[in-house]
Amino acid sequence: MTASFPQFRKNKTGTSYYHIISEKHMIEWQKLGSRIIRHELSVSILPERLLIADILSCSQGHYEIVSEIDFHIAVKQDPTDYGKLR
């Protein structure tokens, strides 16, 4: 089964949120204190591909599905401003 994109996830601690654009491209928003740091990942090696697959499948209970609205609230992004998310 092929997933539709974008997908949104967070880790169990709520310190990282993931905007998964495709099976090969993802943006992580990591909360550090009152700051949010953005990390963009474009797959170039197998471990990166496996990381995105694990996050998509909510592997071993480390990740949770979140709605797009909850994602935008958590990372303090305007959901209509997709230019900043891609």
The answer as to whether 2 is a domain residue is no
Tell me if 38 is assigned to some domain: yes
pTM: 0.84
Domain span including residue 59: 7-78
Q: Among positive and negative, which fits the CA dihedral 74, 79, 82, 84?
A: negative
Query: Is 16 contained in some domain?
Result: yes
Tell me phi and psi for residue 81, to 5 degrees: -100, 70
DSSP 8-state secondary structure symbol assigned to residue 78: -
For residue 47, is it within any domain? Answer: yes
Number of independent structural domains in the chain: 1
pLDDT of residue 59: 83
Burial of 26 (0-12, 13-18, 19+ CB in 10 A): buried
Answer whether residue 61 is part of any domain. Answer: yes
* Mean pLDDT of each 10-residue bin along the chain, 86 residues long: 86 96 96 91 96 94 95 77 49
